[in-house]
Amino acid sequence: MNRDPATIRVLESTNLEKLRMITRGTFTPRLPVMAATILLAFASASAAPAQSFGPTLTHPSSTALKLPPDGFLQRWLILEPIHVNGLTDSAVQAAVRTEYFPNQLTVIPRDGDSVTLGNTNLTWHAVETTNYNVNLFHFARALHKPTSDVLFWTVTIVTSPEEMHGVRLAVGSNAASVWWVNGQEVIGIYGDRQTVIDDGVSKRLTLKKGSNVVRCAVINGGGATDFCGRFLDPDDKPLTTLSVSVEEPR
């Protein structure tokens, strides 16, 4: 940009006066202020909110979560959906016994782990629900994944302060689901159904002191899909002394 001699003289005079003011300590350059503003804006942009999977699902913000008064398990690791067909007892059992990835009935994944099915990579996501149920429809839609004719694998770790005998796992799901506790299949509910609290209840079982792995496979034919689960004590009241986590205690 070309400036005429008069403009140049004015600028030189102004810059000289600013230099004198800096020397006297009566003028503060604007550059540090600008730099601080830029850094503040960058920090604000970097502090992104926790990932959301719909209106009731977020990413867990702590290591473990105490159970609410109604005892529902509110933290889960969920694998992105796998395409399947059928909601009958035989179709569901065939689906959950198909090996889609190695060690699918024993693996304890970490948030962000992935598995490969053919040419497709599927990711495990840690979620926490604000409701009693986990909304799989919202979960899949948030990730732009299908919600019909799909299988969702889910895992959570329940920590018990002591060994507990005679407890039962009570579940509900939309649609069919099969559940395991510490590697043992304990309950399955089948058909095109709505989620009802305590719709299916296992036989009495024992929770170990420390970590107990709860695994669930939910199969949906179409429309809304969700699930819920909790443990009941020997008097069929919700167990609330447990905690739930998506990571094994170290």
Could you tell me the CATH number of the domain that includes residue 167?
2.60.120
Q: Give tens-digit pLDDT for 201-221.
A: 999 999 999 999 999 999 999
Has residue 8 got a pLDDT over 60?
A: no
Distance CA 190, CA 218 (A): 10
Q: Give tens-digit pLDDT for 51-104.
A: 789 899 999 999 999 999 999 999 999 999 999 999 999 999 999 999 999 999
Judge whether 96 lies within some domain.
yes
Same domain? For 103 and 129 the reply is yes
Judge whether 250 lies within some domain.
no
pTM exceeds 0.95, yes or no: no
Judge whether 74 lies within some domain.
yes
Distance CA 63, CA 189 (A): 31
Same domain? For 41 and 67 the reply is no
Same domain? For 164 and 114 the reply is yes
Distance CA 58, CA 51 (A): 6
Q: Give tens-digit pLDDT for 129-140.
A: 999 999 999 999
Q: Locate tokens 């969920």: which residue?
A: 78
What percent of the chain has a predicted confidence (pLDDT) above 90? 76
Same domain? For 84 and 196 the reply is yes
Token pair of 126 as six digits:
């840690």
Judge whether 198 lies within some domain.
yes
- Domain span at residue 174? 57-245
Same domain? For 42 and 123 the reply is no
Q: Locate tokens 């609290």: which residue?
A: 197
Same domain? For 235 and 130 the reply is yes
Total domains, the chain = 2
Same domain? For 32 and 90 the reply is no
Mean per-residue pLDDT, 121-130: 97
Distance CA 177, CA 189 (A): 5
